[in-house]
Amino acid sequence: MSLVLSPQLVNLLRELAGGRDVEAFIIDLIAERLDPPHRVKLYLSLHEDYLKSAEELYAKGDLTQAGEKYWGAVTALLNAIAESRSWEHYSHRDYDIIIEELYKETNDKSILVNFSMAERLHANFYHNFMSKEGFEAHREAVLNLVNRLRGIVGVMESHN
């Protein structure tokens, strides 16, 4: 399905998003109207979409865009985890707090390190400073983080 929006509406959405990804902003607006279990499902579905898109962009060699989609895949998982635990998850600061809490819970330093690598991919989207080799190292760390976060989500789902 394709949706065509007027230029005025697009500009308003960009303004309201305040520099955030407009699609993510719209998803958050929709999520506000869902009950928590449906929000978690929405964020997990969004994670899958971002990860698939990231892999497609990576295969095409569009590393800058791919890096931002990997970041989206990570933050969507963090949103799902936070939503299931009634934690705030609406800002970059919230993501840092979530990561700290998950580190305390698991004592797994790779969560901290790999999240920092994901943040660098996010920064690269805006500043395009990363070499292909550097991108590869960051991508590997992010995929490891995704797997670790998926494990945490799996544990959550088995307790529901």
Which CATH number do you get for residue 46? 1.20.120.330
Q: In the predicted model, is pLDDT for residue 122 greater than 60?
A: yes
Band (pLDDT 50/70/90 cuts) for residue 1 is: low
* pLDDT value for 157: 56
Residue pair 90/24 in contact by the 8 Å Cβ criterion: no
Q: In the predicted model, is pLDDT for residue 92 greater than 80?
A: yes
Residue 112 domain-assigned (yes or no):
yes
Q: In the predicted model, is pLDDT for residue 160 greater than 60?
A: no
* pLDDT value for 54: 97
Task: Return the DSSP state at 20.
Answer: S
Provide the token pair at 141: 């760390």
Residue 41 domain-assigned (yes or no):
yes
Task: Return the DSSP state at 19.
Answer: T
Find the angle CA(33)-CA(44)-CA(101) to the nearest 5 degrees: 95
What is the domain range of residue 100? 34-158
Q: In the predicted model, is pLDDT for residue 21 greater than 80?
A: no
Whole-number Cα distances in Å, 6 to 9, 11, 13, 28, 145? 5, 9, 11, 21, 38
User: Which residue type does 131 have?
Assistant: S
Residue 99 domain-assigned (yes or no):
yes
Question: In this predicted model, what pLDDT tens digit does every residue of 126-157 receive, in sequence order?
Answer: 899 999 999 999 999 999 999 999 999 886 55
Band (pLDDT 50/70/90 cuts) for residue 81 is: very high
Residue 135 domain-assigned (yes or no):
yes
Residue 13 domain-assigned (yes or no):
no
* DSSP three-state, residue 32: coil
**Average pLDDT score, the chain:** 91
Residue 18 domain-assigned (yes or no):
no
Residue 24 domain-assigned (yes or no):
no
Residue 3 domain-assigned (yes or no):
no
The model's pTM: 0.85
* pLDDT value for 152: 93
Band (pLDDT 50/70/90 cuts) for residue 3 is: confident
Q: 77: closest CA among 53, 41, 112?
A: 41
Q: Which range is least confidently modeled, 31-40, 108-117, 130-139?
A: 31-40
Going 87 to 116 to 153 to 49, the CA torsion angle's sign is positive
> Considering its fold, how many domains does the chain have in total?
1
